[in-house]
Structure 1
Amino acid sequence: MTRVMSWGEWFAHDGTALAELVRKGEVTAEELASQAAEAIVAVNPKISGVVELFDDAVADATVNGAAPDGPFAGLPFLLKDLGPTLAGRLQEQGSLFFKGHRSTSDSFLVTKMKAAGLNIIGRTTTPEFGCCSSAENPALYVTRNPWNTEYTSCGSSAGSSVMVGAGVLPIAHGTDGGGSIRIPAGCCGAIGLKSSRGTFSIAPYGSDFTSVVSTQGCISRTVRDTAAFVDACRGGAPGEFMPYCRPDLPFTEMIARDPAPLKIAVSHEWGPYAATPHIAAELARVAAFFESLGHHVEWVVPKVDLERAYAAQTTCYITNFAQTVNNLLRSKGVSEPPPDLIEPMNIRIWEQGKDASYTERADMQAVFNETARAFGAFYEEWDILLTPTTARETPRIGTTEYLTLSDNPSALDWFGNLWGFFAYTPLSNLCGTPGMSLPLAVHENGLPLGMQIHTRQGNDGLLVQLAAQVERAIAGKWTLGALPEVHVTKLG
């Protein structure tokens, strides 16, 4: 393996900066991939974030089709082992049941990634089918938080978050169906944007019309890398059910200037859920910081029937994941989930959701509509909503109540417990609105704590613009300038 710079220099360069080195001819894309691979080999035994490293893509940055003239110029990149498919590569979805499954074609988003010049060099860990707060099944892998390996990374974009958090790569792929980009990014000290519905395509296997709540995106260390990823990879495939609109200006241009003074509402008491006292205090500190940037900040709870919204979200998840399992069973000609190959809670979700009626889904959609309209009215008055990313402290490894290894007999109760932890992320999936987790705070135990900014549907550019203002104000020192215990700068 070839190392072209020190680990301190590696971490000091984000993806945009590394791509610029390639364009200038100072390094090659293969040299960057080799150094990234060295970092993966060094840290993966400690945090288990990468399922597979593609040695051929490390040796040749074009082997997976990355365009050398794309904006990322062959930058090494990791793909979550769930969602978009890469032709000829395994995609096992964190499941023993799907072990050995090889994709036969590229999904539309992967073609966009390739055109952007992203060299996909491996795939990252995820809980089974993405239905869990942590990639933590000892039969497969246990993904650990680089800040303290006794704690989880959360999920479901677990592996991507720990690899970015550990400085291995500046940017990696994630998916978000209820917080799965924002939550692990917040837990691992990274930036996570869940984009508006209608930003990234999930063609050809599904659409925003069929998926309802899930979207794609990235986890990064800098706002400009996130902006560049969205600019390059957004857009719909032919035949999409809804329009895929572009902003008037690329995000990479928008972030060069601060937003005008904004009206920012702050809250953490959402229906039956509220943050712990320490998280609430960190929220107040961050709110005061936003006020110091010249924004009007006020504590306001959105006028939304939150209990009905969470109940509808639960219906959505049980019925969606039940059909995910159903479709996988059909693909293998199996009528029931094998208990030795599919995790217990995913089996219970299948049992409790597979026969849901159209009436149940119609009732769910009616509440989705009410909730989206209520938040829409809220964003007519407020530019930004500021909340924590999570309401509770990051769990230790082995906290089974949040895992699909749980023995909880009720999927309804299991999801209700999840919402108590992830109270502030799922409703933006319900509404199709954007949310962005920024590593601005810490838990009492010193682990990172994300703070989340939300806004109206389609206004993602304002989030990245505000995030860029914050990044400049703190001189790029996210997580209060601290580094995790497992980090590339601590390698020999």
Structure 2
Amino acid sequence: MNVPMSWDEWAQHDGVALATRVAKGELTAKELAAQAAAAIAKVDPPLSAVVEVFEDAVADPATDGANLDGPFAGLPFLMKDLGPTLKGRLQEMGSLFMRGNRATADTFLTRKMRAAGLNLIGRTTTPEFGVCSSADNPAVYVTRNPWNTDYTTCGSSAGSAATVAAGAVPIAHATDGGGSIRIPAGVNGNIGLKVSRGVFSLSPLLSDLSGLVSIQGCQSRTVRDTAAFVDACRGPAPGEFMPFWSPPEPYTRMIARDPARLKIALSYQWGEYRATPHIAAELQKAGRFLEGLGHHVDYALPDLDYGEAFAAQTTCYISNFAVVISNMLAARGLEQPPEDLIEPINIRIWERGRHTSYADRARMQAVFNTTSRSFGAFFEDWDIILTPITALPTPKVGTTEYLTISDNPDVLDWFGNLWRNFAFTPLANLCGIPAISLPLAAHENGLPLGIQAIAKQANDGLLLQLAAQIERAIDSKWNAGQTPGVHVTAE
């Protein structure tokens, strides 16, 4: 296939740069779509990260209503196969049970993306219903890490993370209910921002109050792409339960300035969950780097009952997902999850969570409240909490203890095992506060290790400012300037 750019040139452009070239008339949206489709064809066979490419959207970027005059000017964009729906397109949620499920309408955020000029050209892999840590089920697909295909991408935004890391597209859709943007960003060497509550709408299916912990977002390779995505796609749909907020100026302008000197708290142990010595040392190294940028860095941690907080978070996930599965069953006139179509842990989640009482949820909400207040008090004295994204090394493909194909009979034990690796991300969802994963560190085997910065409610802009300051300081060389083995530039 003839493409307008060399692969080196394609990989050097972020989304904003490509959109700028289209706006100047140097390239067309159709040429970008053709190059993105060729890039996916080049890198996806070893990764299994893309479920489907929409050939009509590649052939005609305006076919689904992408506003080619919007700020992204027809930029090719992949959608995680979960969350916002695309009218007439399949959304199968990583599940055999949902095969053939076709959306009847665009959701509000989908319309915002199209209005921003994003050309939604395909869908990417996710674990079943977005529940577990990796899109790793041989009956559906096994998504692999572009840095080393023996390892997982983690999840749940698995395919989006892999395609961005491999250079197929500069930016892709992701969702985060407990770390599902930040964990795969950290594991694949991308930038992943979980925004505060009150930024992206979940309309019409949920609100920020009924969704409670889940937010929308993206995977990217540059801070300005993430900033531009938030600027273009944020905002409430009519009838939101809670007020949405806007920053005093667009993030794309804010990130041009360094933040003031920040008080940054390092932390690598939350309750009983502790990072390995190597990961703790990588966090310390990141702290020293930030001291070199003029920030005050020390060890500190919010004062709260972490065991209680994780128990409440587990109750939230089990009861939320049980309702999701019950609704899917009811839509098909079923009373029980079919064991040959729904994965074992998700069936156990349904069994345990479907009878959750109002009193159980009220106790959970009370812990959410005390946990959020503790973080709030902490942020009266500190600007940022810095943690590793994961506590343990990236699992290899087929490590079933983290997967919903696990045969673990105890769903609480299964969640406890998840927290041992992924303790540092979910409490930001519980509290509705922003957090970002930055590709600043590495595991002992050389795979990427994200460093997470967390801030108080509505301080998303501060996180992006800090990320942009770091990006300038390292001359945009995230991952120490390395690229994955599976990459558009690789022969």
Please say whether Structure 1 and Structure 2 have the same fold, judged by a TM-score greater than 0.5.
yes
| Mapped partners of 1:408, 1:317: distance in 2 | 17
| SS of equivalent residue, structure 2 residue 151 | coil
Q: Deviations over 1:343-393 (max 9, x none)?
A: 000000000000011100000000000000000000010001100011010
Q: Deviations over 1:181-214 (max 9, x none)?
A: 0000100000000000111011001111111100
Name the counterpart of 1:6.
6
Name the counterpart of 2:278.
278
Q: Which amino acid aligns with 2:421?
A: F
| Mapped partners of 2:316, 2:140: distance in 1 | 27
Q: Which amino acid aligns with 2:118?
A: L
The answer to whether the 8 Å contact 1:143/1:159 transfers is yes
| SS of equivalent residue, structure 1 residue 441 | strand
Name the counterpart of 1:53.
53
Q: Deviations over 1:374-425 (max 9, x none)?
A: 0000001000110001101000000000000001111111111101110100
Is residue 369 of structure 1 aligned with residue 369 of structure 2?
yes
Name the counterpart of 1:263.
263
Q: How is 1:434-473 mapped onto 2 (pairs within 5 angstroms)? A: 434-473=434-473
| Mapped partners of 1:58, 1:77: distance in 2 | 11
Q: How is 1:65-214 mapped onto 2 (pairs within 5 angstroms)? A: 65-214=65-214
Report the CA distance between 1:301 and its aligned residue: 2.0
| SS of equivalent residue, structure 1 residue 163 | helix
Report the CA distance between 1:168 and its aligned residue: 0.6
| Mapped partners of 1:16, 1:44: distance in 2 | 24
| SS of equivalent residue, structure 2 residue 32 | helix
| SS of equivalent residue, structure 1 residue 193 | strand
Name the counterpart of 2:399.
399
Name the counterpart of 1:221.
221
Q: Deviations over 1:136-178 (max 9, x none)?
A: 1111110000000000000000000000000111000000000
Report the CA distance between 1:99 and its aligned residue: 0.3
| Mapped partners of 1:167, 1:352: distance in 2 | 41
| Mapped partners of 1:216, 1:427: distance in 2 | 16
Name the counterpart of 1:357.
357
| SS of equivalent residue, structure 2 residue 423 | coil
Name the counterpart of 1:421.
421
| SS of equivalent residue, structure 2 residue 352 | helix
Name the counterpart of 1:34.
34
The answer to whether the 8 Å contact 1:92/1:99 transfers is yes
Q: How is 1:280-299 mapped onto 2 (pairs within 5 angstroms)? A: 280-299=280-299
| SS of equivalent residue, structure 1 residue 169 | coil
| Mapped partners of 1:150, 1:384: distance in 2 | 34
| Mapped partners of 1:48, 1:291: distance in 2 | 40
| Mapped partners of 2:88, 2:384: distance in 1 | 43
Q: Which amino acid aligns with 1:253?
A: R
| Mapped partners of 1:447, 1:110: distance in 2 | 33
| Mapped partners of 2:199, 2:409: distance in 1 | 37
| Mapped partners of 2:301, 2:444: distance in 1 | 25
Q: Deviations over 1:311-335 (max 9, x none)?
A: 1000001101111100110111111
Q: Which amino acid aligns with 1:33?
A: A
The TM-score normalised by the length of structure 2 is: 1.00
Runs of at least 5 residues in structure 1 that lack an aligned partner in the other structure: none
| Mapped partners of 1:3, 1:365: distance in 2 | 53
The answer to whether the 8 Å contact 1:15/1:72 transfers is yes
Q: Deviations over 1:269-292 (max 9, x none)?
A: 110111001000000000000000
Q: Which amino acid aligns with 1:449?
A: L
| Mapped partners of 1:265, 1:43: distance in 2 | 39
| SS of equivalent residue, structure 1 residue 186 | helix
Q: Deviations over 1:40-98 (max 9, x none)?
A: 11111100110000001001110121101110000000000000000000000000000
The answer to whether the 8 Å contact 1:2/1:31 transfers is no
Runs of at least 5 residues in structure 2 that lack an aligned partner in the other structure: none
| Mapped partners of 1:236, 1:46: distance in 2 | 39
Name the counterpart of 2:410.
410
Q: Percent identity?
A: 68
Report the CA distance between 1:2 and its aligned residue: 3.3
The answer to whether the 8 Å contact 1:440/1:478 transfers is yes
Name the counterpart of 1:479.
479
The answer to whether the 8 Å contact 1:197/1:432 transfers is yes
| SS of equivalent residue, structure 1 residue 323 | helix
Runs of at least 4 residues off by over 4 Å: none
| SS of equivalent residue, structure 1 residue 21 | helix
Q: Which amino acid aligns with 1:482?
A: Q
Report the CA distance between 1:307 and its aligned residue: 0.8
| Mapped partners of 2:354, 2:2: distance in 1 | 51
| SS of equivalent residue, structure 1 residue 155 | coil
Is residue 342 of structure 1 aligned with residue 342 of structure 2?
yes
Report the CA distance between 1:471 and its aligned residue: 0.3
| Mapped partners of 2:325, 2:406: distance in 1 | 17
Count of aligned pairs between the two proteins: 491
Q: Which amino acid aligns with 1:272?
A: E
In angstroms, what is the RMSD of aligned CA positions? 0.6
Report the CA distance between 1:426 and its aligned residue: 0.1
| SS of equivalent residue, structure 1 residue 34 | helix
Name the counterpart of 2:240.
240
Name the counterpart of 1:17.
17
| SS of equivalent residue, structure 2 residue 219 | strand
Name the counterpart of 1:44.
44
Q: Which amino acid aligns with 1:368?
A: F
Q: Which amino acid aligns with 1:337?
A: P
| Mapped partners of 2:209, 2:189: distance in 1 | 32
| Mapped partners of 1:142, 1:55: distance in 2 | 23
Report the CA distance between 1:482 and its aligned residue: 0.9
